[in-house]
Structure 1
Amino acid sequence: MTWIFAPEHVGTPDATALRRAYYGDVAGRYWKRPATEAEIDEGLAGDGVELLAPPTGQFLVGRYDGRPAACGGVLLLDAERAELTRVFLRHAFRGKGGAGALLHGLEDAARALGARRTVLNTRLDLVEARALYARHGYAEIPAYCSGPYMEVWYGKEL
Structure 2
Amino acid sequence: MTTWTIKAETVAGTGTGIDDAMRQYFIEMGRRVLGRAATEAELHSVLTHDPHEDLSPPHGVFLVARSAQDELLGCAGVRMLAGASGTAELKRMFVRPAGRGAGLGRALLLAAEESARALGASRIVCETNTELTEARNLYAKHGYRETEPYEGHGNADHWFAKALG
Output aligned runs, 1:8-157, within 5 Å.
8-11=9-12, 12-13=14-15, 14-65=17-68, 66-77=70-81, 78-145=84-151, 149-157=155-163
**C-alpha spacing 1:147/1:49, structure 2 compared with 1 (3 Å):** closer
- My pick for the range that moved more, 146-155 or 74-83, is 146-155
Asked if the contact 2:88/2:124 (under 8 Å) is kept, the reply is yes
**C-alpha spacing 1:2/1:147, structure 2 compared with 1 (3 Å):** closer
Q: Compute the displacement of 1:125 (Å).
A: 1.3
Asked if the contact 2:127/2:152 (under 8 Å) is kept, the reply is no
| Alignment partners' CA distance in 2, 1:32 and 1:60 | 27
What is the DSSP-based 3-state SS (H/G/I as helix, E as strand, rest coil) of the residue aligned with 2:78?
strand
What is the DSSP-based 3-state SS (H/G/I as helix, E as strand, rest coil) of the residue aligned with 1:85?
strand
Q: Compute the displacement of 1:148 (Å).
A: 6.1
- My pick for the range that moved more, 57-66 or 147-156, is 147-156
Query: What do the CA deviations read for 1:18-58 (whole angstroms, capped 9, x no partner)?
Result: 11100111122222111233322222124231111112211
TM-score by length of 2: 0.88
**C-alpha spacing 1:82/1:147, structure 2 compared with 1 (3 Å):** closer
Structure 2 counterpart of 1:8, one-letter code = E
> RMSD in angstroms over aligned alpha carbons?
1.6
- My pick for the range that moved more, 106-115 or 24-33, is 24-33
Asked if the contact 2:80/2:119 (under 8 Å) is kept, the reply is yes
Query: What do the CA deviations read for 1:53-101 (whole angstroms, capped 9, x no partner)?
Result: 1122111111122321111110101331100001000012100110000
Structure 2 counterpart of 1:9, one-letter code = T
TM-score by length of 1: 0.92
**C-alpha spacing 1:146/1:72, structure 2 compared with 1 (3 Å):** closer
Count of aligned residue pairs for this structure pair: 158
What is the DSSP-based 3-state SS (H/G/I as helix, E as strand, rest coil) of the residue aligned with 2:112?
helix
What is the DSSP-based 3-state SS (H/G/I as helix, E as strand, rest coil) of the residue aligned with 2:150?
coil
| Alignment partners' CA distance in 2, 1:96 and 1:74 | 22
